[in-house]
Structure formats: structure tokens, C-alpha cells
Amino acid sequence: MIGLAVLGATGSIGRSTLDVAARHPDRFRVVALAGARDVEGMRALCGRFRPAVVAMAEPAAARRLAQGLREEGLGIEVLAGAEGVEAVAALPEAAFVMAAIVGAAGLRPALAAARAGKRVLLANKESLVMAGALFMEAVREGGAELVPIDSEHNAVFQCLPPGSRPGQAPAGVRRIILTASGGPFRDAPLERLAAVTPEEACAHPNWSMGRKISVDSATMMNKGLEVMEACWLFGLPAERVEVVLHPQSIVHSLVEYVDGSVLAQLGNPDMRTPIAQALGWPERIEAGVEALDLVRAGRLDFRAPDPGRYPCLGLAYAAQRAGGTAPAILNAANEVAVAAFLGGRLPFTAIAEVIEDTLAAVPAGPADSLEAVLEADRRAREHAARRAAA
């Protein structure tokens, strides 16, 4: 029986992970859960899965959860704060850790899981965007297994030669091609984008995702972050990681080899597929996903992304090439700008403007320590918040 800890348990990835695990009760035991502030959601999960330990990043939420669990007579230990979440990530009973906390908040717990030698099911791309060198070093030194969960990176993982190692360029690979749906505005008139609403931006045409990542998909910043993540995961420079629009979201990514072969992973747009692959690897396990019907799909379309429609993608490539703390600065500015947009304080098209301005205003330095990365993150957030409020 494999002990499983799920960080970000009440989010979409966390719930999908628990759905897959519940289909294999003879194989997985949920030993720990972690979340931020969704007390009722976590309380329901505790009632169903009965973990030994739960952590809530928000201390007030932890207190409310502890009270609710006592009322139900559930003897579950409740930890509070960022330290509690990190403790769950390194729990000895958890061999597998799903790292699905959104944004920069997921960095420290993912590092804790890597240092503890877990199989890290990495759904928090910011861990590599912000601190790629530090994270990969933690994986090596901790003896961790790293399996990517983003559908695109998991697709690449499945298409690589046997024996490929995280962070090392795979033998014979010419380039990686990440597919992108293009979000809900891929065909909208450019002059309409300034007036789009958060509700429209969060209405993804193919995937069911949280609000922040849905906006990132609409701006294609999400794909930019995935380019950065791919560089670290697969040991390739940014110029060998390309992006193509694929509206159907059936081909999840492709790997081109030097002999001209191109391998692709296909499937319905359901995150339970990469989650099941990562949980079962090197075996295959049931995910509860509907079988792909290519005849019903009818066609697979591809086209290049328009830089004028998706300026965030270009900003991400530029930050990756700049290196150091530039990716952390970009990520922080994006999180602030997206929050301002979702809060009705910033137009959709100004998200890229805030990011570009922050990259120009906040000097990048070496990302040689976690402290340096977090300091760059702090300075970028402060500048982006001022810029978004102007």
C-alpha cells in the first residue's frame, strides 16, 4: 500500500488525484491532505478519506477545521501555516506527494517533498519557474522521483526514450513541441480583448481549471510558464521548446527526434490521465477517463500563436533567456496582475503591460539561493501592485 499526500487537495488537480486514488483502494492510502482556506471542502475530504494528518496554510482555517473535525469525532491531526503544509509534504508515511498548490505558495512544500526523497507528482510549475536550479538540485540530493503532471509535460515524459533522467537532455531529441488551446479568445477580435470580463476569461473551451490558471491560459502565460518548466525538466534551452496552437486539446505535446520521427501523446482533455500515469508509472492504471474517439473528433488543427494576441508568451521566453531571478519576477508580476484582473481592478490587456513594466523595473540577479528567489518575488510583487493600482 502506497501512502499518498495531496497538497492543494481542495483544488481541481487535488480532487482529480483523489478521484484516481479512490479507484485503487488496494494500491493507495491517502495519509495526508493540505489546503489553504476551504474549510468545508477539506472537512468533506477528511470525512471520505480519513487521513492521519491535515494542514491548512491559513491558521484561522486550520482552527475552524480542527473544531469541525472534533465535532464529527474524527481523530485527525490538524497542522497550521506554511510550516504545517511543509510537514505534510515531508511526512514519512507518504511515499508519493501530489504537489498541486497553485502559484509561488507551492514552492516551499514542493522543495520539502523533493528533499525528503518522495515521488513528487509536480503540478506546481512555479517550483521550476522560480527556482529551477534549486529544485532540481533538491531532487538529485534527496533521491526523489520527479514525474510531471501538467498534461503537456506528462505527454513529453511519456514520449521520451527509456532511461531519460530529469534535467538532462534526452538522447536524440531535436525539440519539444508544447500544444496550447489558445484559450477562449484565440479567435476574438483584438479590439475586444480590453473589455473582456473575468467570467469570460475563466470560461476555458476545453479544460475545467481554477480561475487563476484559466486566465493564464487566456493570456498564454500558462504556456510561457510551461516552456520554462520544460527547459528544467528536460534539460533543453528555450529555443528547442516550441509552442503551437491546437484548439482540440487532443494532442497534448510532441517530441521531435533527430531522425525526423515525431512522437505524440493523445487523449481526451482530462487531467486524470496524466495523474494516473504519474501515480502508476511505470505501470498503467485505470483513470476513469472516457476513451478517445478519433473519428468523432474528426480533425486535428495546428497553427502558430500570434505574438500580438499573446504578448505574455514572448515575455516568458525573454525571462527564461535572461535567467537568474527574471523568471521569478515575471511569475510574481503575473500573479499580482491576474489577481487585479479577477478583482475587477485591471483590464485584461493590461496584464501583460504590468508584467513587462515589472521586468524592466526590478533588476534580476543570480537565483543561487531560496532567499534570493523569494526576495526577487517580494520586490516584483510590490512593484506590480503599485503598477496595477496606478
222 lies in some domain: no
207 lies in some domain: no
CATH number of the domain bearing residue 23:
3.40.50.720
Residue 205 in this model has a pLDDT that exceeds 80:
no
Average pLDDT, the chain: 96
C-alpha distances (whole Å) from 251 to each of 180, 205, 218, 266, 300 are 9, 15, 19, 4, 8
Per-residue model confidence as pLDDT tens digits over 187-197: 999 999 999 99
**Closest C-alpha among 258, 256, 224, 219 to residue 243:** 224
232 lies in some domain: no
Per-residue model confidence as pLDDT tens digits over 306-323: 999 999 999 999 999 999
Binding residues for NADPH: 10-13, 36-37, 124, 126, 210
Binding residues for Mn(2+): 150, 152, 226
162 lies in some domain: no
278 lies in some domain: no
CA 375 from chain centre, in angstroms, equals 22
Binding residues for 1-deoxy-D-xylulose 5-phosphate: 125, 151-152, 181, 204, 217, 222-223, 226
Per-residue model confidence (pLDDT) at position 103: 85
Residue 65 in this model has a pLDDT that exceeds 90:
yes
Q: What is the DSSP letter of 33?
A: E
How many CB atoms sit inside 10 A of residue 38's CB? 17
Which residues span the domain enclosing 128?
A: 2-148
Distance CA 29, CA 18 (A): 10
Binding residues: 10-13, 36-37, 124-126, 150-152, 181, 204, 210, 217, 222-223, 226
Per-residue model confidence as pLDDT tens digits over 75-131: 999 999 999 999 999 999 999 999 999 888 999 999 999 999 999 999 998 899 999
Q: How many domains does the chain have?
A: 1
Cβ neighbors of 325 (< 8 A, separation 6 or more) are 364, 365, 366, 367, 372, 373, 376
Distance CA 375, CA 365 (A): 10
130 lies in some domain: yes
Per-residue model confidence (pLDDT) at position 207: 64
132 lies in some domain: yes
Cβ neighbors of 360 (< 8 A, separation 6 or more) are none
- Name the CA dihedral angle for 190, 191, 196, 201, rounded to a multiple of 10 degrees: 0
H helix or E strand, kind and range, residue 387: helix 370-389
291 lies in some domain: no
